[in-house]
Amino acid sequence: MVNFELVLNQLKNLMIKINFTALILFFVSTLSAQINSKDSTVQVIGYWDLHEKQTYKISEESYQVLNAKDTVKRELYTYIADIVVTDSTANSYTVEWRAHDYKILKSTNRFMEKLLAISDSTPVIIKTNEMGVFQEVVNWEALRDVIKKGTDMLRKDFKDTIPNFDKLMDQVSGMYTSKEAIQNSCIEEIQQFFTFHGAKYKIGDEISVPVKLPNNYGGEPIDGNLTAWLDEINLDDGNCVLRYTQTADAKQLTDAAYVQLNKMMVTMQLPVMKREDFPVAMNEIRTATRIHGSSGWIIYSIQTKETFANNVMQVKERIIDIQ
């Protein structure tokens, strides 16, 4: 599924949220079993068979909290994802993420249904290594074309209401023309799904590492920090719970948003903001995932993203639940 939320937020709020890809820089060793009760460690590896399929329900909810009390602009939709292993070699898996049965449960955005319908027909084909670590989107050009269809639709609907809207759409769609941009910004739920694969974790060992987060506006990556830990081992059911938090450098995040916003303001012939008047942006991502020990399939995962600026907190929560 292609995530159009960035495009819509640019038009609705004239602010862009950076969607961050989880980066885990841990040393990986080979173990014959993924859960080791003797030393309280877990190795997350995908042991998947060719043509194996798992089905998940994805729920995505977003809203704004004003002045820490008023909740507005609530959006909620669900869909079903069939995850199918279409190829398996000694050192890689090819997996298709097939989204269908979208249901919009609450929305203030009249374009959401149209945009979801566009992305419904295009599976996302990804490749992982032999342990299930995300490597690349194979059909990224197809996803780029889906985004172009979405921006072309918005051109038609807004062409007479916003000055220089065609130029603005050129600017927005131009941000999603590369493979890197597609992988960093448009497959958030897939990145969430594969967050913990390939690494070894031990209960009681909290690992905190500096990371370079992709700057979706172009330019240098943004500094951040990632902390991950093994929270629970459930031997009776053969699964474990892993968690991580990720934060971005507030100044670098704000600078990147400020530059991009002013480019859009110039395009729409609106006054440019002064840097000192631009609100400081804070960003935090929290993820908790329960994983089946012997297969590496996700059982349940919840991710919460909070972006705060100018007494407004934007919250986005995604739940991945096996069916």
Q: Where are the beta strands (DSSP E) in the chain?
A: 35-36, 41-43, 53-66, 70-88, 92-106, 124-129, 134-137, 200-202, 207-213, 222-234, 239-248, 282-292, 298-309, 312-322
Q: What pLDDT is attached to residue 119?
A: 67
The total number of structural domains in the chain stands at 1
Q: What pLDDT is attached to residue 9?
A: 45
Q: What's the CATH code of the domain at 114?
A: 2.30.230
Q: Is 56 exposed, middle or buried (0-12, 13-18, 19+ CB in 10 A)?
A: buried
pLDDT higher than 80, residue 114: no
Report the share of the chain in percent with pLDDT over 70.
Answer: 85
pLDDT higher than 60, residue 53: yes
In this predicted model, which residue has the larger pLDDT, 6 or 111? 111
Sheet holding 35-36, edge to edge: 35-36, 41-43, 200-202
pLDDT higher than 80, residue 88: yes
132 secondary structure, DSSP code: -
- Residue-wise DSSP of 60-127: EEEEEEETTTEEEEEEEEEEEEEEEEEEE-SSEEEEEEEEEEEEEEE-S-TTHHHHHHHHHT-PEEEE
Confidence of residue 17 (pLDDT cuts 50, 70, 90): very low
Q: What pLDDT is attached to residue 4?
A: 41
The model's pLDDT over 173-224, given as tens digits with 9 standing for 90+, comes to 777 888 988 998 889 999 999 999 999 999 999 989 999 988 877 678 899 9
pLDDT higher than 80, residue 22: no
Host domain of residue 142:
5-322
The model's pLDDT over 215-248, given as tens digits with 9 standing for 90+, comes to 877 678 899 999 999 999 999 999 999 999 999 9
pLDDT higher than 90, residue 71: no
Q: What pLDDT is attached to residue 120?
A: 65
311 secondary structure, DSSP code: T
